[in-house]
Structure 1
Amino acid sequence: MSPRRSGAYYLIAGVVSLIALAVLPAAAAEPGKFVVTQVAQKKLSGLPPGELYWRVENFPTLDLAQNAASASPNSLAAEVSGKVWLFTLGPKGGMTPGGTTAAEIGPVPVFAAPEYLLQINHAGGPPGSRTPVHSHPGSESFYVLAGQVGQRTPHGVSRTEAGKSMVGHGPDMAMEVFSDGTTDLDQLVMFLLDATRPASVPAKFE
């Protein structure tokens, strides 16, 4: 092959390779990132007596939800995914004036701690995205707005879908949370934590 023809051959081959890379299917790409954003938190010196549930309610405006949260030591308000939410940890069957109940999740695993932290996260990502394996010094509950969530622990895998909730495990349980559906996961995550310890630490499945 002449030098001129050889150069033209490699030029054409390079162009073909670039085109092939450009048209690779999206499925060949790595899964997107699982994103977690903290939206509210509040410390408590103690817990209400008896079995506890997370009551998730919607409000017409953020001001109304914040007013309700300021009147209750166990409530937090946030605006997430185009809606206003009030999260209250308390007995089953409660109701906040002005709110509309979306879910009641529990009973929540409780535990002894010098001080408690209530924390709300907004989390999710495209199908296949997942968190690292980790644990929390407390319990975690989920309310799914869109998609489907999966949670892997040493006890197996649990799943729940849009419009439904799931109660997590107690303190120091190794877990991996992932987007398990065919559409993007969008979810609210409610924590009851030991406020004297880091909220999340790396963990391993034994």
Structure 2
Amino acid sequence: MKPRLISARRIGVLIFSLCAFGLMTSASVPADGKFVVEPVVEKKVKELPSGPLYWRLENFPTLEQAQGAAGPTSLAADIAGKVWLFTLGPKDGATPGGTKVVEIGPVAPISASEYLLRVNRGGGAPGVKTAIHTHPGSEAFYVLAGKVGQRTPHGVSYAEAGTTMVGHGADTPMEVFSAGTVALDQLAVFVVDADRPFSSPASLD
């Protein structure tokens, strides 16, 4: 199944309903200081590779090349002036024609009858934060600019520009926030149970 690029109209609706991450540039930070959330690309798959899994982020010269090189658990997208291929698979993998940027993992294991793979991009001005929420699976972060913070029952974790952070397992309550002195711009990559709501309200109390 080919990845589905999400339409601008649908993005406009989802930006207010998803408590995750999405397509954003620092120039688009709302004046009211909200954490901007928009999905970039997603697809559903029936099976995942065996063993410990990592998200591999690679750059390609063109979107067509990235799409042509994509495997069953890959997502290709044009983000921030670069073409990206996100692949969920074993550690130390490589895609012919791609330039590896980073590898994130291992991600928390998940078992489902069908899986949703999704890439979101998001953030906002220093201090903005998401509502407290959960996801029915795992997520991984790669920071393009600024600094991301994630508060969970396990404590608070941070990642700065050019670095990564592995999220916790399914149904972990979390609050994500822009923790730096400049606007946060970051990618979040998910593998979740496709049969459950992507994001649900939660509490850290």
Q: TM-score band (shorter)? A: 0.7 to 0.9
Distance 2:97 2:183 in 1: 31
Aligned-residue offset at 1:194: 0.2
Which string of whole-angstrom CA distances, capped at 9 and with x for unpartnered residues, describes residues 14-48 of structure 1?
A: xxxxxxxxxxxxxxxx9611111111111111111
Q: What does residue 55 of structure 1 align with? A: 56
Look at both structures and tell me which one has the larger radius of gyration over its CA atoms. Answer: 1
For the 8 Å contact 1:56–1:85, the answer to whether it is kept is: yes
Distance 2:173 2:39 in 1: 20
Q: What does residue 96 of structure 1 align with? A: 95
Q: What does residue 180 of structure 1 align with? A: 179
2:76 is matched by which residue type in structure 1?
A
Distance 1:201 1:80 in 2: 26
SS of equivalent residue, structure 2 residue 58: strand
Q: Structure 1: state its 5+ residue gaps.
A: 1-29
> TM-score if structure 1 supplies the norm length?
0.83
Q: What does residue 44 of structure 2 align with? A: 43
SS of equivalent residue, structure 2 residue 189: strand
Distance 1:132 1:151 in 2: 12
Q: Of Structure 1 and Structure 2, which has the larger fraction of its residues in helix? A: 1
1:124 is matched by which residue type in structure 2?
G
Count of residue pairs the alignment pairs up: 175
Asked whether 1:136 is paired with 2:135, we answer yes
Which string of whole-angstrom CA distances, capped at 9 and with x for unpartnered residues, describes residues 102-148 of structure 1?
A: 11000011121111110000111110111000000000100001000
Distance 2:32 2:127 in 1: 6
Give 1:89-128 correspondences, 5 Å limit: 89-128=88-127
Asked whether 1:163 is paired with 2:162, we answer yes
Instruction: Write out the 4+ residue segments of structure 1 that deviate beyond 2 Å after TM superposition.
Output: none
SS of equivalent residue, structure 1 residue 66: helix
Q: What does residue 74 of structure 2 align with? A: 75
For the 8 Å contact 2:110–2:192, the answer to whether it is kept is: no
Distance 1:57 1:31 in 2: 34
Distance 1:74 1:47 in 2: 7
Q: What does residue 23 of structure 1 align with? A: none
Distance 1:33 1:130 in 2: 7
Q: What does residue 10 of structure 1 align with? A: none
Q: What does residue 149 of structure 2 align with? A: 150
Q: Structure 2: state its 5+ residue gaps.
A: 1-30
Q: What does residue 33 of structure 2 align with? A: 32
Aligned-residue offset at 1:205: 1.0
Distance 2:172 2:67 in 1: 32
Which string of whole-angstrom CA distances, capped at 9 and with x for unpartnered residues, describes residues 134-179 of structure 1?
A: 0000001000010000000011100010000000000000000000
SS of equivalent residue, structure 1 residue 111: coil
